[in-house]
Structure 1
Amino acid sequence: MASNGNMLQPQLPRFSGKNFNQWSIQMKVLYGSQELWDIFERGYTEVENQSELTNQQLVELRENRKKDKKALFFIYQAVDEFIFERISTATSAKAAWDILRSTYQGEDKVKMIRLQALRSEFDCIKMKETETIEEFFNRILVIVNSLRSNGEEVGDQRVVEKILRSMPRKFEHIVFAIEESKDLSTLSINSLMGSLLSHELRLKQFEVNPEEVFQMQTSFRGGSRGRRGGHGRRGGGRNYDNRSGANSENSQESSSLSR
């Protein structure tokens, strides 16, 4: 929606109770652009006896109050009605945010259970034989992003090493080459993906269609049987002719003796 002048008010991503992690990332970027994220994370301290404050401190206090009310209004606008009821009693933006985070991201115990499941999934993941590099990277990065959004520190080196350990045998040579020639502590996930995609493309260029191999093998076997059979029959014919000739000569000798 447009505001006065040429400034545009950013469109607020709406939270309906699902995918809190994704929504919170979007909100963090949006509130950061408005210089409001500190108010959500740390809040501000209200001072009862303002007479003891300096002029500078008073200015900062009033500025923080305005930021807090603006941030709280943004949250009200960014949630569905039934979620608004949960935070309507919050007196500050930080209090409203804490309610949403504890409700939809989970308390510490629930968060720990979720992290354990994600760690196990990360440790067990393997690339399937029928999977492409891009599909496998997408699958593993979904887990990595979920781990990070739940507070787990997952560095690129850990992800790179896991990917290299999870490749099928057809990538064995390129994996060995990368491990020997690259410094895994500085190799980025995107660079690794680029190397593996290039190797995958070369594999596809030299890939033989399994149906064509089967047809070639079948044709070769059939031709071999035909040639062997033909030689047998021709050989058998020669033996029969020889035997017939010998029998004919014996018959002629017997006839001469009887005469």
Structure 2
Amino acid sequence: MGDKKEEDTSETKMKETGPSSIKCPMLTAANYTVWSMRMKIALKVNKVWETVEEGIKDEDKNNMAMALLFQSIPEALILHIGELDNSKAVWDAIKARHVGADLVQESRLQTLMAEFDRIKMKETDTIDVFVGKLSEITSKSAALGETIDEPKLVKKFLKSLPRKRYIHIIAALEQVIDLNTTSFEDIVGRL
């Protein structure tokens, strides 16, 4: 019976805490893609993402979403978008400012895809560092509307490794694994 009372007390404590205290990431000139991913999760955790995504008219949720967004953007940006009255308009204004118009977005995407084509692992890089670079390019391109297919990413990864150091491993993997069905995480884990 003592256990049951303990469970009830912990449930009560959880209910009384209210909205979670998740720290919002700060938007900078260079981190929009990661910022938007983190903010989307923070808004979902606080159960207000639908006011941003769909523009649902719920004043309490809208105010919570706006409060979270305003905590995570610099003062200079607040001065530009502070007069907007709903979270969807604020989100769209931030997105437009950082992602830009379609032509700018297309130009950024072309630059990113050219970077993807050129990238090679340096002799001094570790696998983790190089995977981080590839993942960053993949995330940025997805945010701009272009998803890099898993087989293309896997093949690019293997082609970009320094041949002197990894040729035997690459050859073995290519013989044993179907590169068209293997996930990026799996191939990285095997190395």
Query: Which residue number in structure 2 is paired with residue 229 of structure 1?
Result: none
Flag the 1:73–1:191 CA change in 2: closer, same or farther, 3 A.
same
The separation in 2 between residues aligned to 1:181 and 1:126, in whole angstroms, is 24
Query: Which residue number in structure 1 is paired with residue 77 of structure 2?
Result: 83
The separation in 1 between residues aligned to 2:36 and 2:126, in whole angstroms, is 31
Residue by residue over 1:76-121, the C-alpha shift from the partner in whole angstroms, topping out at 9 and shown as x without a partner, is: 2332222111111112110111111101221111111111011011
1:191 maps to 2:186: yes
- Where in structure 2 are the equivalents of 1:1-259 lying within 5 Å? 5-7=16-18, 8-44=20-56, 64-170=58-164, 171-196=166-191
Which ranges of structure 2 fall in alignment gaps of 5 or more residues? Answer: 1-14
Q: What secondary structure, in the 3-state scheme, does the structure 1 residue paired with 2:83 have?
A: coil
The separation in 2 between residues aligned to 1:14 and 1:129, in whole angstroms, is 34
Q: What secondary structure, in the 3-state scheme, does the structure 1 residue paired with 2:182 have?
A: coil
Identity of aligned residues (%): 33
- Asked if 1 retains the 8 angstrom alpha-carbon contact of 2:24 and 2:72, the reply is yes
Structure having the higher Rg: 1
Question: Root-mean-square deviation (CA), in Å?
Answer: 2.3
Q: What secondary structure, in the 3-state scheme, does the structure 2 residue paired with 1:173 have?
A: helix
Query: 1:189: Cα distance to partner?
Result: 1.9
- Asked if 1 retains the 8 angstrom alpha-carbon contact of 2:138 and 2:147, the reply is no
AA of the residue aligned to 2:103: K
AA of the residue aligned to 2:155: E
Q: What secondary structure, in the 3-state scheme, does the structure 1 residue paired with 2:50 have?
A: helix
The separation in 1 between residues aligned to 2:68 and 2:161, in whole angstroms, is 46
The separation in 1 between residues aligned to 2:17 and 2:87, in whole angstroms, is 28
**Number of residue-to-residue matches in the alignment:** 176
Q: What secondary structure, in the 3-state scheme, does the structure 2 residue paired with 1:129 have?
A: coil
AA of the residue aligned to 2:64: K
Flag the 1:158–1:70 CA change in 2: closer, same or farther, 3 A.
same
Greater RCO structure (CA 8 Å; 6+ sep): 2
The separation in 2 between residues aligned to 1:168 and 1:18, in whole angstroms, is 29
Residue by residue over 1:4-32, the C-alpha shift from the partner in whole angstroms, topping out at 9 and shown as x without a partner, is: 94454222223344422221111001001
The separation in 2 between residues aligned to 1:83 and 1:28, in whole angstroms, is 19
Residue by residue over 1:188-215, the C-alpha shift from the partner in whole angstroms, topping out at 9 and shown as x without a partner, is: 222212322xxxxxxxxxxxxxxxxxxx
The separation in 2 between residues aligned to 1:194 and 1:19, in whole angstroms, is 27
Flag the 1:130–1:96 CA change in 2: closer, same or farther, 3 A.
closer
- Asked if 2 retains the 8 angstrom alpha-carbon contact of 1:90 and 1:96, the reply is yes
- Asked if 1 retains the 8 angstrom alpha-carbon contact of 2:52 and 2:87, the reply is yes
- Asked if 2 retains the 8 angstrom alpha-carbon contact of 1:43 and 1:94, the reply is yes
- Asked if 2 retains the 8 angstrom alpha-carbon contact of 1:16 and 1:83, the reply is no
The separation in 1 between residues aligned to 2:123 and 2:74, in whole angstroms, is 43
